[in-house]
Amino acid sequence: MKKFILNSPPDSGGMVHLTGKDFHYLARVRRIKAGSVFTAVLPNGNETELMVISVDDDILKAAVTVAPDRDSPSFIPLYLFQALPKGAKMDLIVRQAAEAGILEIVPFVSEYTQVKRNAVDASGKAKRWERIIKEARQQSGSTVQTTVGETLCIDEILDYWDKLKNERQGAGIILHQDPLAPGSFHDYLDNDPEFAVLAIGPEGGFSRTEADRFVARGFKPLCMGKNVLRTETAALYGAAAIQIIISERETWLLKKNLNQ
């Protein structure tokens, strides 16, 4: 279900005043008229219903009709450590990650990455990724506030992983083109983690040295069958697998216990 993303909460009177691109999207693309009611996602991730009061030439006024939902339990935070791919592939990865409800995408430069780190920082891609995320969330209805972090090197991203797991119990999974261990998604997610991190290499994958470094810091290596997936496919495939397994955890644990 499509949901509109509010950049700022309603004012003290429960009103929102939308202009610019937000106005164009609602009034011109979705053709929302005065009296229409639509679902909006607040900056804190909660949802509310807004009724359109008026649509003028360049401003849409709407009022809250339903009190914002209280915070409710959601899927565990999922982080995507994505080695930078070539061309527009990162745009696709960002869009799919936002639709899938990934909390943070952290780009990084690996041994086989062909994109230079300083080129990314100077290209203004951050603004484009913000726009892609907003459009993707509005299309999918995701209430997760997906962000794209600063581009890091291998040392920095491993340090970031250490910081995350020092704060909470997490599961780190690195997808590799070779079967480095006999584990599975179910094995690695069996300890009820509070968050999960998925590490994906660039077009050439991870070097064995890089994979060993991730494993030494607590990541679990996983090879997904005989097919070698493109980097943009692997990111979505892996994220979907983690989310399904976590969301259905009670079901598969019950079957596992019954079979023991």
- Tens of pLDDT, residue by residue over 154-178, are 999 999 999 999 988 999 999 887 7
Q: Is the pLDDT of residue 132 over 80?
A: yes
**Predicted confidence band of residue 73 (pLDDT cuts 50, 70, 90):** very low
Which two structure tokens, joined as six digits, stand for 180? 């480095």
Q: Do residues 15 and 124 both lie within one domain?
A: no
C-alpha gyration radius of the chain? 21
Q: Do residues 51 and 124 both lie within one domain?
A: no
Q: Which amino acid is at 80?
A: L
Residue 49 belongs to some domain of the structure: yes
Task: Label the pairing between strands 78-83 and 195-200.
Answer: parallel
Task: Please give the pLDDT value at position 254.
Answer: 53
Domain boundary among 41, 66, 91: 66
What pTM, to 2 d.p., does this model score? 0.73
Task: Please give the pLDDT value at position 72.
Answer: 42
- Burial, 87: exposed, middle or buried (Cβ in 10 Å; 0-12, 13-18, 19+)? exposed
Residue 241 belongs to some domain of the structure: yes
Side-by-side strand order, sheet with 37-41: 4-5, 37-41, 47-55, 60-66, 15-18
Which two structure tokens, joined as six digits, stand for 144? 């997760």
CA-CA-CA-CA torsion for 147, 188, 163, 247, nearest 10 degrees?
40
Residue 224 belongs to some domain of the structure: yes
Q: Do residues 232 and 188 both lie within one domain?
A: yes
**Residue located via tokens 């279900």:** 1
Looking at residues 113-119, what average pLDDT do you find? 75
Task: Please give the pLDDT value at position 197.
Answer: 95
Asked if residue 39 lies in contact with residue 52, where contact means CB atoms within 8 angstroms, the answer is: no
Q: Is the pLDDT of residue 74 over 70?
A: no
- Tens of pLDDT, residue by residue over 3-20, are 788 988 898 878 899 999
Task: Please give the pLDDT value at position 257.
Answer: 57
**Predicted confidence band of residue 247 (pLDDT cuts 50, 70, 90):** confident
Task: Please give the pLDDT value at position 120.
Answer: 64
Helix (H) or strand (E) holding 38: strand 37-41
Q: Do residues 119 and 11 both lie within one domain?
A: no
Domain of 60 in residue numbering reads as 4-66
**Residue located via tokens 């992983």:** 161
Q: Do residues 119 and 238 both lie within one domain?
A: yes
User: What's the number of domains the chain is made of?
Assistant: 2
Q: Do residues 186 and 227 both lie within one domain?
A: yes
Residue 200 belongs to some domain of the structure: yes
Q: Is the pLDDT of residue 2 over 80?
A: no
Domain boundary among 66, 91, 112: 66
Which domain CATH number covers 49?
2.40.240.20
Q: Do residues 114 and 205 both lie within one domain?
A: yes
Residue 73 belongs to some domain of the structure: no
Residue 258 belongs to some domain of the structure: no
Q: Do residues 109 and 17 both lie within one domain?
A: no
Residue 259 belongs to some domain of the structure: no
Looking at residues 83-98, what average pLDDT do you find? 91
Q: Do residues 100 and 45 both lie within one domain?
A: no
Task: Please give the pLDDT value at position 121.
Answer: 59
Of residues 258 and 242, more confidently modeled: 242
- Tens of pLDDT, residue by residue over 183-232, are 788 888 888 888 999 999 998 889 999 999 999 999 999 887 677 788 88
Which domain CATH number covers 201?
3.40.1280.10
Query: Across all residues in the chain, what is the average pLDDT?
Result: 85
Q: Do residues 113 and 52 both lie within one domain?
A: no
Which two structure tokens, joined as six digits, stand for 41? 């996602």
Q: Do residues 48 and 118 both lie within one domain?
A: no
Q: Do residues 54 and 88 both lie within one domain?
A: no
Q: What percentage of the chain carries pLDDT values higher than 90?
A: 37
Residue 25 belongs to some domain of the structure: yes
Task: Please give the pLDDT value at position 60.
Answer: 93
Q: Is the pLDDT of residue 35 over 70?
A: yes
